[in-house]
Structure formats: C-alpha cells, structure tokens
C-alpha cells in the first residue's frame, strides 16, 4: 500500500520506535477522533480541513509541555508538531531575558533623568532672585577647587536654595577628612550644601573637568575658581619652576572653562596681585586660552560671610593664608574689551 504523503512540517503517527509519550498521544487522538466524528462517518479530501486543539487532553495524559495540535489531512490524523518541551523552555528563557533587558533599560533611563532634573533643574521663575556680590540665585554656577566648601556654603545660604550650583573638589572624601580632621567645619558645609540641593562632586580635576561624566554635558553662566594653586613645594613661590606649574594649571583650567560656558557667561578667578603672584600673568594666560579680561574688581573676604580661605595640597594643608592685594578677575568669551578696575 502506497504511503500517503504528509504536509511539510508534519510528523506521522507511525514511527519505528514508539515511546510511552507517543502512546499516550495516540490515545488522546482517538478521544478527539470520536469527539469530532461520533457517527463514524468518513472524511474525504474534499472536506474542509479542521483542527482540534489537544492541549487539555495531552495534559490529562501526562504530556504537559508538549504543545501540539491534531489535524485531519487527506483522510488520516496527523500530529503537527509545534514546540517540544526543550524549545518551549528556550523560547520562555529568551522572553524572560528580553523582558529583563527592556526593564533594566527603562529603569536606568528613569534614574538618570530623575537624577539630572533633581540636581540640575532650572530655578523656578517665580522664585525671588537673590544676590550676593557678583552672584545671583538664577545663575548656573560651577565652583572649582573648593577646599573646605565654605565659599559654596556661603553662596547657598545667601540664595536659600543651591539647586543652581555645582561644587567640586580635587580631593576625595577620605582626603578631605585627613586634611581637615582638626577642623570639622567642612562636614557642616557639606551638610548645608546637601540640604539646600547643591550637587557636590569630588575628585574633579580643573585641568580636564570638561571630560567629567557628569559635567561634560552641562553649561554654566558663572565658573568660579578662588585662589588657584598647583601645590606647595619646598621652594619659594617665586621659583621659576613653581610659577611655570601655576601657569600651566591656569591655562588648562581656562581652556576647559571656555568649553563649559553659556553664551554671555563669565569665568571668575580670585587671585592675589602682589609679588610673586603677579608673575603668573593671569590676563595673558587667559588670552592664550581664548578668553579676554572683562573686569577686575577688589576681592574682600568680608563680602562672603563664613568663607574661610585654606591651603590645599599636602604641606600645611587646612591652614589659612594671608589675603593682601586680592582681586576677582572676570573673563568672558569674545574680543578684548576695556578693563575696569574697581
């Protein structure tokens, strides 16, 4: 007798080796055959193909996980094999993995944007603008090279809110503790900034701050660097090598700050203008970095209540230093303009 040809993808019921699961499947198919054709009438090729789902019966006979369907094709029952248990498990694992990846992506995006808008949101337009000397609560302000964060805390207290500020330090948290452990005021300053919504970043180098993972996407109206210093050495401040190190630091800072300014923004550097600090030639270094000196105003410590100027580095750290002829040098983008000294 010539064997009947089955559809592509179908598996005949008759096989050389009959497994126990297939025996149960045959019993299930017989039950469906009786249910579908109780009168025992024959079905011809002209009869429209019909399909009967066998999942419930297969589960009854212990074939759970073997998803199949029984169909009448060319006068004989065929089992159209859909998914074996192994393939079903593989598909299930792939689905779970895809779901986990999508969930993680959405969660990461949500946390990133929540962090960004929480710490760097625009000050409400209805908020009363508050000023302290040159700085306003509506300006986006970046503070570079903070020591004990006393200057940042002073601005935050004056504004009432520090959501418009980012305060950075070259030191790590551990280094801050070692430097200022005799003066625990820095902890109070950090707590004040945190309570008022300031974003505080540690281990930010002024020479490459525009590559920082958080700062590189930000723009500022004011960038402040008070009394920049390349470190203390066992030689005098008038040493040519030391002066060269200070000038290199300033040039790298100016180049980074230029890339982080909003249109019309300014870079403020508080600096002593007496010997030997005058040899740093601040205006010349700023010009080489693409900035021009807009204004030079006297810096007075009394204008900033609570500010404490302290040394950085590892030699005599946390000690104050004398402020003699100090000025705030205001640099901006553009061509050289008339300088006013007040």
130-174 pLDDT, tens per residue?
A: 999 999 999 999 999 998 899 999 999 999 999 999 999 998 888
Q: Are 75 and 42 in contact (CB under 8 A)?
A: yes
Residue 44 phi/psi, 5-degree rounding, is -100, 175
Strand ranges of the sheet holding 261-272, from the earlier edge strand across to the other edge: 199-201, 165-168, 141-144, 220-226, 261-272, 326-333, 291-298, 340-341
- 131-341 in CATH: which number? 3.40.50.150
- Our measurement of the distance from residue 63's CA atom to the centroid of its chain's CA atoms, rounded to an integer in Å, reads 50
How many CA atoms within 13 Å lie on the side-chain side of 175?
Answer: 12
Q: What is the pTM of this model?
A: 0.63
With 0-12 / 13-18 / 19 or more C-beta atoms within 10 angstroms meaning exposed / middle / buried, residue 179 is buried
Domain extent listing, the chain: 20-83, 87-119, 131-341
Q: Are 291 and 258 in contact (CB under 8 A)?
A: yes
Q: Which of 165, 159, 94 is nearest to 130 (CA)?
A: 159
- Nearest 10 degrees: Cα torsion 65, 70, 76, 80: -60
- Which residue shows structure tokens 């740093």? 280
Q: Write out the H or E segment, with its range, that includes residue 249.
A: helix 240-259
Q: Omega before 213 cis (within 30°)?
A: no
Number of neighbouring beta carbons within 10 Å of residue 44: 8
pLDDT at 116: 54
Q: Are 169 and 146 in contact (CB under 8 A)?
A: yes
Helix (H, G, I), strand (E, B) or coil at 275: coil
Q: Which of 319, 326, 327 is nearest to 232 (CA)?
A: 319
What gap in Å lies between CA 85 and CA 59, rounded to an integer? 13
- Within the chain, which residues score under 70 in pLDDT? 1-93, 110-127, 181-183, 312-318, 335-342
What gap in Å lies between CA 311 and CA 145, rounded to an integer? 11
pLDDT, tens digit, 9 for 90 and up, residues 83-100: 455 555 556 667 777 777
Q: Which residues pair with 222 in a beta bridge?
A: 141, 266
Residue 42 phi/psi, 5-degree rounding, is -85, 150
Strand ranges (E), 183-273: 199-201, 220-226, 261-272
């Amino acid at each position: 007798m010539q064997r009947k040809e089955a559809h592509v993808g179908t598996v005949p019921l008759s096989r050389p080796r009959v497994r126990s699961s297939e025996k149960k499947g045959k019993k299930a198919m017989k039950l469906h055959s009786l249910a579908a054709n109780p009168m025992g009438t024959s079905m011809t090729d002209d009869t429209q193909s019909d399909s009967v789902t066998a999942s419930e019966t297969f589960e009854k006979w212990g074939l759970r996980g073997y998803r199949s369907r029984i169909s009448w094709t060319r006068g004989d029952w065929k089992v159209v094999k859909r998914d074996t248990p192994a393939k079903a498990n593989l598909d299930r694992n792939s689905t779970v993995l895809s779901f986990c990846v999508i969930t993680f992506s959405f969660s990461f995006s949500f946390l990133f944007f929540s962090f960004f808008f929480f710490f760097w949101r625009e000050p409400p337009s209805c908020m009363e603008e508050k000023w302290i000397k040159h700085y306003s609560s509506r300006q986006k302000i970046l503070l570079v090279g903070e020591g004990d964060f006393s200057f940042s805390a002073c601005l935050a207290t004056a504004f009432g809110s520090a959501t418009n500020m980012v305060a950075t330090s070259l030191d790590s948290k551990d280094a801050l503790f070692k430097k200022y452990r005799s003066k625990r005021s820095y902890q109070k300053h950090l707590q004040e900034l945190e309570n008022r919504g300031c974003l505080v970043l540690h281990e930010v180098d002024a020479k490459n701050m525009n590559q920082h993972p958080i700062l590189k996407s930000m723009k500022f109206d004011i960038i402040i660097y008070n009394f920049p210093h390349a470190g203390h050495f066992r030689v005098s401040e008038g040493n040519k090598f030391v002066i060269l190190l200070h000038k290199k630091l300033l040039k790298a800072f100016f180049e980074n700050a230029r890339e982080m300014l909003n249109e019309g923004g300014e870079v403020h550097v508080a600096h002593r203008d007496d010997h030997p600090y005058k040899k740093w030639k601040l205006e010349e270094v700023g010009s080489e970095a693409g900035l021009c000196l807009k204004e030079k105003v006297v810096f007075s410590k009394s204008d900033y209540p609570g500010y404490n100027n302290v040394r950085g580095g590892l030699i005599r750290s946390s000690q104050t230093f004398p402020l003699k002829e100090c000025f705030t040098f205001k640099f901006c983008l553009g061509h050289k303009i008339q300088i006013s000294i007040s």
